[in-house]
Structure 1
Amino acid sequence: MTYLFLGLLMIIIVVILVDLILWMAWKPKAENPKPFEGELPFISILMAVRDEVHTVNYALNSLEKLDYPKDKYEVLMGDDDSTDGSTKIMQAWDKETNNFFYVPIKEKVEHLDAKANVLEQLAEKAKGEFLMITDADVEVPPSWLMKQLACWKEGSGIQSGFTIIKAKDFLSSMQMIDWSLALGMVKIVSGWKIPVTAVGNNMMVSKEAYTKVGGYKNIPFSVTEDFALFKAVAKKGYRYQQLANEESLVRTFAIKGFWNLMNQRKRWMSGALKLPPFMVALLVFQALYYPAMLAMIFVNPFVAIPLFGLKITLQSLFINKILERLNQYVPLGNLFIFEFYSGFISVALLFFYLLPLPVKWKGRKFAKG
């Protein structure tokens, strides 16, 4: 055996073992705590909005239909210098509803920018005991607040639910599977008490924890502001968890356009590289897997093809478990095709990330960090 063969085999085997562990570790039943008991707390929902004219009504309509007393929650809509008509929509909601408030964001707080800047200013106005952070391109279920409260554990500072892409066509179906796989991994690792991240469009933070870390203004700016806040709260010793149930599941739209998708993933990678070292190592192995498998096919196809089949099988079984938990469905063939889609995206992102280009998001440019 050559050193090249052994090196490629090691990378492939490590990734397959990880898939096996994830599949075996996933619990078949979702969280099913007792309904929240006692007086309902006041909750502030924070939404940063920048040029979301096609989706913001969609999000606000779902927030209006929450199965929660109207006098027990507020929706703070932070207008991050929108130029496309989103402003008029938010102002109309402010005028027509008693608990929806339009907040124009004109200035920057200290070192902050983009969504972190908006959320900091909204949090300062928030009256809630809990802050629910979401985006202007999502749909939340009516049970969203009640389920998040029911799952909240004593000593917690932050928790997040699943977010899933609305699958309308092949490409959005691939993104749906991708998100499900990533959050399934977060769910398992968080259950092992390893701090990973929280989902920034489906995130619950206690006002106490937010205040204790000093808010976003006391956290170094990051293009992955959800990860930065999660890390700060976890560092203070608060409990955290990733939920996986249909009642707190948020649906969002797929990214349109290859370059927009690359910029989104580049932004995420900036946060991923700040994860615990062993998590970064696993991500590196995942990134190397596809080039290694491609090389192995040329070096020894009789070894590569069975291992490739095993990898697809284990990953598909894991993803299927996740989707069953969330009461979602994708055609079985899509799970097989996803491996090829994931390989292409991973290799493309590897090159795109290394390019000396800033991260572009919502019309702004940011450094990779």
Structure 2
Amino acid sequence: MDTYLIILFMFTFVYAAGLWYLSNGFNQIKKQGRTDSKPMVSVIVSAHNEETHLPGCLECLQAQEYPPEKVEFLIVDDRSTDATGAVTDRFAEQDTRFRPISIKDRRPDFAPKKRAIDTAIRHARGEVILLTDADGRPGSNWVSGMVSYFTEQTDMVIGYAPYTVKPAGHFTKSLLALEYLSHAAVAAATCGLGFPVTCVGTNMGYRKKLYTEIGGFGEYKPFISGDDDLFLTRVREAKQYTIRYADAPETHVYNDPPQLWSKFLHQRMRYASKGFSYPKKVTAGLLAYYLFNLFMFVGLLGFLFVPAVFYPVLAAYGIKSVGEFYFMNLAGKTLHDTRFISRIPLVQVLHIPYVVVFGFLGQFKRFRWAEAHSEAAVQKMA
């Protein structure tokens, strides 16, 4: 028992110190300069059976306040069997900035979404490539806002994609929004410190020249996911490119949280499944984080059988919770999203078993992009 408590407190203090260190990255983000230049931009949206979500996304793109001669919207219809192609064609008929691209087959050596992005980039006329998803809802100044971070020294920009919570304050969705903010917090903090470890494909961009120079997705081409964070890994490991985080509110791309429990479970296990695909030092950090939560989980259950560990485990949990609240509060202020900070204590209670369960199950799951789910077999998220 003594050995367990020693290891638990070692994990706890290292974790708290790590959060304090990471929080310094937020200060670096705030010091970033921006530019007024207006380069040619190619916005890419990959869509597979997205007839429901796509119109809203394209309407948001149509409303972009950026010189029309300096932007194009490449919409890739990847083997859709619904009306996705018709939606894209309709917008292209109304607005010459839209350029439909259609993919009819599948290559076993190239994951579908990565291939869709790669195909669009090969057709792109822009110097800067911006990416979002079919369910993304960028504001009218998204393109101009993201582009403003592309100073002469900047090669890649990653941004925040907060969850929309409707009705406002919806309990379950607000907790999901906080959990998603925690991912963005790590992305922003590590980027500020010069070692970005993650990003989201709903809101990111890079120079076309960069994509060509590093050989696109490279060895990650067959991976079903990772068009965002694994690509970021390739850029970071090249050690010659500058990556920045867009913190301004106009650069946010809102998207809806999973509406079905099955989709949420599928999505989170997909995230966890990539843990051993990162460079060794990132994987080591993720493994340490998992083990810390596992030790904490065992302790919180263990005091039911060994009452003597109650106060030590409670102390470790308290240190962990205070550190996380400090870190998340700074993240919310930096990213201009403090909507649900007051609910962090509740999320912290749920987050420990969440990490333990999904971290384990994710290692045994294989995924398909835009995998179909039978709504008859699942319950909608209440």
TM-score of the aligned structures, taking structure 2 as reference length? 0.86
Q: Call closer, same or farther: CA 1:193–1:174 in 2, change over 3 Å.
A: same
Q: Call closer, same or farther: CA 1:354–1:229 in 2, change over 3 Å.
A: closer
Shift of 1:31: 5.5
Equivalent residue number for residue 256 of structure 2: 253
Q: Which runs of structure 2 are paired with 1:63-74 in the superposition (5 Å)?
A: 63-74=61-72
Q: Call closer, same or farther: CA 1:310–1:217 in 2, change over 3 Å.
A: closer
Shift of 1:24: 5.1
Would you identify which runs of 4 or more consecutive aligned residues in structure 1 move more than 4 Å? Answer: none
Q: Report if aligned partners of 2:29, 2:192 keep a CA contact under 8 Å in 1.
A: no
Instruction: Give the counterpart letter for 2:248 in structure 1.
Output: N
Q: Call closer, same or farther: CA 1:2–1:217 in 2, change over 3 Å.
A: closer
Mean Cα displacement is larger for which, 126-135 or 321-330? 321-330
Equivalent residue number for residue 192 of structure 1: 193
Q: Which runs of structure 2 are paired with 1:211-290 in the superposition (5 Å)?
A: 211-216=212-217, 220-222=221-223, 223-236=225-238, 237-290=240-293
Q: Report if aligned partners of 1:264, 1:361 keep a CA contact under 8 Å in 2.
A: no
Q: What is the SS of the residue equivalent to 1:27? A: helix
Shift of 1:99: 0.7
2 CA distance for matches of 1:295 and 1:360?
Answer: 33
Shift of 1:100: 0.8
CA RMSD for the aligned pairs?
A: 2.5
Equivalent residue number for residue 367 of structure 2: 359
Q: Call closer, same or farther: CA 1:275–1:29 in 2, change over 3 Å.
A: closer
| Gaps in structure 2 of 5+ consecutive residues | 374-382
Instruction: Give the counterpart letter for 1:266 in structure 2.
Output: M
Equivalent residue number for residue 140 of structure 2: 142
Q: Which runs of structure 2 are paired with 1:326-341 in the superposition (5 Å)?
A: 326-341=335-350
Shift of 1:117: 1.0
Equivalent residue number for residue 60 of structure 1: 58
Shift of 1:210: 1.2
| Gaps in structure 1 of 5+ consecutive residues | none
Equivalent residue number for residue 171 of structure 1: 172
Shift of 1:146: 1.7
Instruction: Give the counterpart letter for 1:312 in structure 2.
Output: S
Q: Which runs of structure 2 are paired with 1:202-217 in the superposition (5 Å)?
A: 202-216=203-217
Q: Call closer, same or farther: CA 1:32–1:113 in 2, change over 3 Å.
A: closer
Q: Call closer, same or farther: CA 1:179–1:69 in 2, change over 3 Å.
A: same
Aligned length: 362
Shift of 1:46: 0.7
2:354 to 341, 345, 359: 345
Equivalent residue number for residue 311 of structure 2: 302
2 CA distance for matches of 1:31 and 1:106?
Answer: 46
Q: Report if aligned partners of 1:28, 1:325 keep a CA contact under 8 Å in 2.
A: no
Percent of residue pairs identical: 20
Q: Determine if the alignment matches structure 1 residue 313 to structure 2 residue 315.
A: no
TM-score of the aligned structures, taking structure 1 as reference length? 0.89
